[in-house]
């Protein structure tokens, strides 16, 4: 049996949609929104961490354009081909804008008459990505297609992980370098910050 043409992702997202509607009918849409956001953040964190390990995605000293090329693998992994159109636009070396159009989620919610009362978990989803990548990101909603915008737009500003500090005297006067114990490693490693998670919803 061939499995390469089975739309696993579409079937899984269909399950997710029916699950949301079932929770909303039994426990109310507020509960459905809260549980949906919590679950999506968990999955997003796992997806980002998996992609980071598999593809070597990391924000170091590369350009923002290069980082966004690598980062694009994460939404591509989460969503089936054609499910949503995503454009990542650099806005300097530490910021970028995400533009999402043709969202299958909104189409399904509209068809199921569940759009009213639905709260987008977009910021929670994106917060999971930053946690999975070990980044501190300030993420804000610029526009939302659910509330009448022509697209879903987000602006993100990231704190780049620090590079190891240069030792005094390196590249300059050797006499300016401090003395060190031969048995002591003078190199220091600076760990990346872990994202605190964005507040609110899109």
Say whether pLDDT at 87 is over 60. yes
Phi, psi of 56 (to 5 degrees): 70, 35
The CA radius of gyration of the chain, in Å to the nearest whole number, is: 21
> Which tops the pLDDT comparison, 11 or 181?
11
For the chain, the domains span 9-162
What is the model's pLDDT at position 178? 39
| The CATH homologous superfamily of the domain defined by 9-162 | Trafficking protein particle complex subunit 3 (3.30.1380.20)
Residues 49-58, mean pLDDT to the nearest whole number: 96
What is the model's pLDDT at position 1? 53
What is the model's pLDDT at position 16? 83
Distance CA 155, CA 188 (A): 33
- The confidence band for 187, taking pLDDT boundaries of 50, 70 and 90, is very low
Query: pTM score, two decimals?
Result: 0.75
């Amino acid at each position: 049996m061939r499995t390469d043409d089975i739309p696993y992702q579409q079937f899984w997202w269909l399950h997710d949609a029916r699950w949301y509607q079932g929770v909303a009918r039994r426990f109310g849409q507020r509960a459905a929104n809260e549980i949906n956001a919590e679950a999506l953040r968990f999955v997003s964190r796992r997806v980002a961490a998996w992609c980071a390990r598999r593809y070597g995605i990391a924000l170091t000293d590369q350009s923002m354009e290069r980082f966004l090329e690598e980062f694009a693998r994460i939404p591509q992994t989460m969503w089936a081909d054609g499910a949503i159109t995503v454009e990542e636009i650099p806005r300097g070396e530490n910021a970028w804008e995400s533009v999402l159009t043709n969202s299958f989620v909104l189409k399904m919610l509209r068809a199921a008459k569940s759009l009213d009362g639905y709260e987008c978990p977009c910021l929670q989803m994106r917060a999971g990505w930053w946690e999975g990548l070990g980044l501190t990101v300030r993420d804000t909603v610029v526009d939302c297609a659910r509330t009448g915008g022509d697209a879903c737009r987000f602006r993100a500003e990231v704190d780049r992980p620090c590079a190891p500090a240069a030792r005094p005297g390196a590249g300059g006067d050797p006499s300016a370098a401090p003395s060190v114990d031969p048995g002591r490693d003078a190199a220091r490693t600076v760990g990346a910050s872990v994202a605190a998670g964005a507040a609110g919803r899109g």
